[in-house]
Amino acid sequence: MLSNIGVPGLILILIIALVVFGPSKLPEIGKSFGRTIKEFKKGTNEIFENDEKSRAEEKSEVKEEAKVK
């Protein structure tokens, strides 16, 4: 969805944000948005890492069971 916005759309969004929030609030809002995105990425990376670890553990357990049989 965001890939369809383009440069004119981003400029329009920036102008609307400038009108709504004013120039003094925009840096604060940008920092908050940046922190939110950073935390979201960190959380998703942790989920993927945990999933990969559990798959590796399951794979090693299956190999051990196959050796026992």
Q: Give the count of alpha carbons within 13 A of 20, CB side only.
A: 7
One-letter amino acid for residue 2 of the chain: L
What is the C-alpha separation between 50 and 43, in angstroms, rounded? 11
Asked if the structure places residue 14 within a domain, the reply is: no
| pTM (two decimals) | 0.56
- The token pair that represents 17 in the structure block: 């944000």
- With 70 as the cut, is the pLDDT of residue 3 above it? no
Report whether 21 contacts 13 (CB < 8 A).
no
> Is 12 among the domain residues?
no
Decide if 52 is inside a domain: yes
63 lies in a domain? Answer: yes
Tokens standing for 24?
A: 């003094």
Q: With bands split at pLDDT 50, 70 and 90, how would you rate the model's confidence at 35?
A: very high
The one-letter amino acid at 38:
K
Domain that residue 31 falls in: 24-69
Q: Which residue, chain included where needed, has tokens 């026992």?
A: 68
